[in-house]
A and B are shown apart, each in its own frame.
Chain A
Amino acid sequence: MAEDQTINPAIEIDRVVKRYGSFTALNDVSLTIADNEFFTLLGPSGCGKTTLLRCIAGFEDISEGAIRLYGDDIANDPPNKRPVNTVFQQYALFPHMNVQRNVMFGLQRLGYSEMDARGRAREVLDLVQLLPFADRLPAQLSGGQQQRVALARALAPNPKVLLLDEPLSALDLKLRQAVRLELQQLQQDTGITFIFVTHDQEEALTMSDRIAVISDGRVQQVGPARDIYEEPNNKFVADFIGETNLIDVAVTGVSNGMAACTLPGGAAFTCPAAQGAHQGHGHLSVRPERVSLTAPEKALITGHVQRLIYLGTDMHIDVALSDGEMVKARVQNSQSAHIPAQGAQVGLDFEEGAARLLID
């Protein structure tokens, strides 16, 4: 995947800057999104992900840079001239039109005849299983159904790129999980490039081909879900995606992508380093499920069990190091698992590949 992305980019975001007065919402953002890709913009609220989506759709003008759609610069085109469609967060269905009319709206603007537009609308409504509801008004539908109408309306004109602005956030958990699978299936079936905005990391990890993690108007890291999770670049990404331990270490040397460092307690340790890591003070990211408990004398770090939390399938263990720092470990709840008692002294161990030296 990583190779063909450069061959046929659907969208190129080229050094885009967006300012509102003195506030910079997007700060020199560059991204290349491949044709037929399910691409996710992930970040906390206010990070600029929705602003970027709105810039692609044409609802916001960009202050600097270029946005190219299959090679054409579209940054100066009004939204109604861009062959991209949007699924809005609150759906924005036309309340005075029935479902079928909503879906036909874009088609008629593109010059479809009444009959062709109706035919295509029914085809798409069938795809999202809403054909029996074609004559209903949006207000007569449930939230999940409205969401599917919004999807059908945006898909009907067969856009080159479909933009989805947190389309699942208004649904309840069960429905959200079902729709996730449907969306993924739909993307594969239609072959349309999806750009999906969310603040929900689980959504991002399960659905996307690639993810761009955004914070403070900057792209922090781009890559497939596994890379983002296993090989985070910096503290923000490691902390935002999943749960992690950030352990203070002294870095004694970095070479060939590997770092030598000293753990709290004095043990020497070598692990992969993020690009740009350097000697001095640093943070080691270790996921709790990669931390194992051993006898103190064989361990990398030692501490006391501060708290045990029973999670059903897992046991969550907080271990306090001698300098007061807390390390989380997650142990599977099997019969063979040895669960220490509260207050017991324990040793913590992790493999070389489980840890990663981050840049701040």
Chain B
Amino acid sequence: MAGLGQKPTAGGRTYAGLGLPLMLPAWVIIGFFLVLPIGIMLVYSFLTKEFRGGVIWEPTLAAYDQFFFDRGLFGDEQPKIEWTYILIFWRSIWQAGLATLMCLLIGFPTAWFIATRPASSRTIWLFLITVPYWVNLLIRTISMKFLIRDNGPLNQWLLDAGLISDPIHIINTNTAVQLGLFYSYLPFMVLPIYAAVERYNFSLSEAAADLYASRWITLRHIILPVVKPGIIAGCILVFVPSLGAFLAPDLLGGAKNFMIGSLIEEQFKGNAGNWPFGAAASMILLSMVLIVLIFYARAQGRAHAKGAS
């Protein structure tokens, strides 16, 4: 067991007394690009809306009230629970969850495949995975729209191949949104899992097989737990942006398949906007994501403290 002072740490002599100056850039970036914008959003969500966008500096809870309660057209009825926005949120979580699951199911084998290639060809595979992402997301989403149209190439091929007799209607359905999200965020799943699998020591699999484990048991009891940090990182990286995505639902899902991202986007676009409401919806989304991450962090902390059994 290594004694104290054997390993170099950031607290060691080399960096002693430099803590504050060295941390300054990080604090400036976090303060300016993270804390400040979120602070502005938080403040705006409690202000009164101006009809052509913008805010009036008069504190009110109106935005949150509008999100959760329905007080009738003129605002004078008994408040009922407003389900519209809650449903949009629920649908977004569902969609993002499904997209994450799809990315995981396809991304894990892909990452595994790449990580088990000879070192020389791994770079090429990784490059191929990331090449499409050099193209702007908007353009990729629109191309996807053309691909899956009723008379688009996908249906044409399936018809020509005789696999279907009528075009499948994909565009403007949940499936299209799924496809869009999946395609947009797949690399965010593949890359962290790849990094974890690449570090995986394959003699652990041999040891498991030596101790009478089948391939399935080895996957479940050894491989998955060991690469879990990569899987969780991938899931967070796909789930969080999927939850707030608006390009895929807008372009592929049509009006029916509104998601949080589109809802928020609407509030800041054009004259119909309602900035405080958009800010409030953003704050609610942010809180939800934070709650999930905090639960995850606490579960991880507990597992560590317990020494995993």
Contacts and interface: CB of A to CB of B under 8 A. Distances in A.
Contact of B1 (A57, A80, A96, A140): A140
A92 B201 contact: yes
Contacts of B309: 97-98, 101, 135
A195 B286 CA distance: 60
A269 interface: no
Contacts of A58: 209-210
Interface residues of A, number: 32
B211 A92 contact: no
Contact of B210 (A86, A95, A96): A86
B307 interface: yes
Contact of B307 (A78, A79, A137): A137
A157 B209 CA distance: 13
B210 A80 contact: yes
Interface stretch (B92-100, B121-129, B132-140, B212-220): B212-220
A109 B217 contact: yes
B217 A79 contact: no
Contacts of A80: 209-214
Question: How big is chain B's contact interface, by range?
Answer: 20 to 34
Q: Looking at chain A's contact residues, is the secondary structure mostly helix, strand, loop, or mixed?
A: loop
A88 interface: yes
Contacts of B201: 90, 92
B71 interface: no
B210 A85 contact: yes
Contacts of B101: none
A142 interface: yes
Nearest to A103: B211
Interface string B187-224: 00000000000000101101111111110010001100
A218 interface: no
Given A96-B308, A137-B308, A142 B1 contact: yes
B232 interface: no
B226 interface: yes
A90 B225 CA distance: 20
Interface in A92-107: 92-98, 101, 105-106
A78 B206 contact: no
A86 B308 contact: no
Interface of B: 1, 201, 203-204, 206-214, 217, 221-222, 225-226, 307-309
23 contacts: A59-B206, A59-B209, A59-B210, A80-B209, A80-B213, A90-B201, A92-B201, A92-B204, A92-B207, A94-B222, A94-B226, A95-B204, A96-B226, A96-B308, A97-B309, A98-B307, A101-B309, A105-B208, A106-B211, A137-B308, A140-B307, A142-B1, A157-B211
Instruction: List 4 A-B pairs, minimum CB-CB distance, nearest first.
Output: A106-B211, A109-B212, A92-B207, A92-B203
